[in-house]
Amino acid sequence: MYMQNPVFIPGPTNMPEVLRKAADMPTLDHRSPLFGEILRPALAGVKKVLKTDAASIFVFPSTGTGGWETAITNTLSPGDRVLAARYGMFSQRWIDMCQRHGLKVDLIETAWGGGAPAERYEEILAADKAHEIKAVLVTHNETATGVKSDIAAVRRAIDAAKHPALLFVDGVSSIASMDFRMDEWSVDIAVTGSQKGFMLPAGLAITAFSPKALAAVDAAKLPRTFFDIRDMARSYANNAYPYTPAVGLLNGLKLSTELLLAEGLENVFARHRRIASGIRAAVRAWGLELCARSEDLYSDTVSAIRTPEGFDATSIVAHAAKTYDVAFGVGLGEVAGKVFRIGHLGSLTDVMALSGIATAEMVMVDLGLNIRLGTGVAAAQEYYRDGRTSKVQAAA
């Protein structure tokens, strides 16, 4: 393939050429000192991206889903209670994994389009006087609905209830694109993967454990072997893995963190916010609505856009792929057929975003939706010009 459009799915994301090259390596002896020169900076870089000094990083050859399993199997025992809210396909899948592992899930049903209900967490934790609930699970960015939850508010809820439960956060589609403060929010386990904010191929589960989470590991009775962080920690002490590491991906991770930190994390977050705001301006100009129910919930990495009643949103994704060779995300679960998703995270610029908006517009016009060509693009152009022209004037 020598002509390639950017993808607008919320992972895997577009890969910068330098990261593809970094991940494409000749075979290297993973028991040689050379490997440590990749592993050490990769782990240190992840810590900086997560804004943590206190946490220990464990990276498995796996995906985000393996990161969920790492979190629960290393800290919990069969029959333990965990508290979680269901508000989209990804929060649902983590809950399902807990149930399949024999954990008892205290489930808060939340409308899709809503976020983690901190007040409900607080009520339930306050009522759990015996402290049977061992962990609180939150999906920071629900990729199915384009909803961002307030992790600081969940932390405040746990603290207000004076509850000792661990806080596990799925940051698969937020980390490295949206602000994430592991230490400040006292997150106990953070989970992500390589193929979203880190702009790499899929293949790494990236996890971070707080000292409090580490203290729970020895007593935890859920079976684990591949994902046992104690084996990983012992091997890391010798700059090695308990098995064969994905060396090329780790080399990519090292460079990815270098790129993110060189751009500046706050600049990375601001870029995602700006790109997302332009896309939201386009959605408004089309007269459509987001699945996310209020502005404070808007995700800066993915927008799930509701299509008119009776229209099959999936046809937008199919038509875009077939006619324009552009990938958007389909609706999942409860919102299947009702929304289509524009992923806007990772290696993306305003100009790339404009091409996605323009394509979505052509597709919707092709399919007979009542939208005028150019309206969404113009709204986003206005938004993207704004900050830049004032900068040019200031420099002149």
Ligand X SMILES: *Cc1c(COP(=O)(O)O)cnc(C)c1O
Residue ranges in contact with ligand X by CB under 6 A: 11, 63-65, 90, 139, 141, 143, 170, 172-173, 193, 202
- Contact, 147 vs 117, CB < 8 A? no
Rounded to a whole number of angstroms, the minimum distance from the CB of residue 278 to ligand X is: 22
3-state SS, residue 376: helix
48: left (phi over 0), alpha (psi -120 to 50) or beta: alpha
Rounded to a whole number of angstroms, the minimum distance from the CB of residue 171 to ligand X is: 8
Rounded to a whole number of angstroms, the minimum distance from the CB of residue 26 to ligand X is: 26
As given in the structure block, the two tokens for residue 65 are 């889903």
Rounded to a whole number of angstroms, the minimum distance from the CB of residue 347 to ligand X is: 17
Which CB atom, from 143 or from 359, has the smaller least distance to ligand X? Answer: 143
Which CB atom, from 139 or from 359, has the smaller least distance to ligand X? Answer: 139
Rounded to a whole number of angstroms, the minimum distance from the CB of residue 11 to ligand X is: 5
DSSP-derived secondary structure letter, 53: S
Rounded to a whole number of angstroms, the minimum distance from the CB of residue 81 to ligand X is: 22
Helices 375-395 and 265-285 meet at what angle, rounded to 10? 140
For residue 125, give every residue at least 6 positions away whose Cβ sits within 8 Å of its Cβ, in sequence order, or none.
Answer: 83, 133, 136, 157, 158, 161, 163, 165
Which CB atom, from 193 or from 346, has the smaller least distance to ligand X? Answer: 193
Q: Which residue is nearest to ligand X, using beta carbons?
A: 64
Which CB atom, from 6 or from 66, has the smaller least distance to ligand X? Answer: 66
- Residue 127 CB neighbours (<10 A): 10
Give Cα separations from 62 to 144, 180, 247, 319 (angstroms): 21, 22, 13, 32
CA 1 and chain centroid, separation: 28
Which CB atom, from 141 or from 251, has the smaller least distance to ligand X? Answer: 141
Which CB atom, from 85 or from 371, has the smaller least distance to ligand X? Answer: 85
Partnered with residue 152 across adjacent β-strands are none
Which CB atom, from 189 or from 380, has the smaller least distance to ligand X? Answer: 189
Q: Whole-angstrom Cα distance, residue 166 to residue 375?
A: 47
Rounded to a whole number of angstroms, the minimum distance from the CB of residue 139 to ligand X is: 5
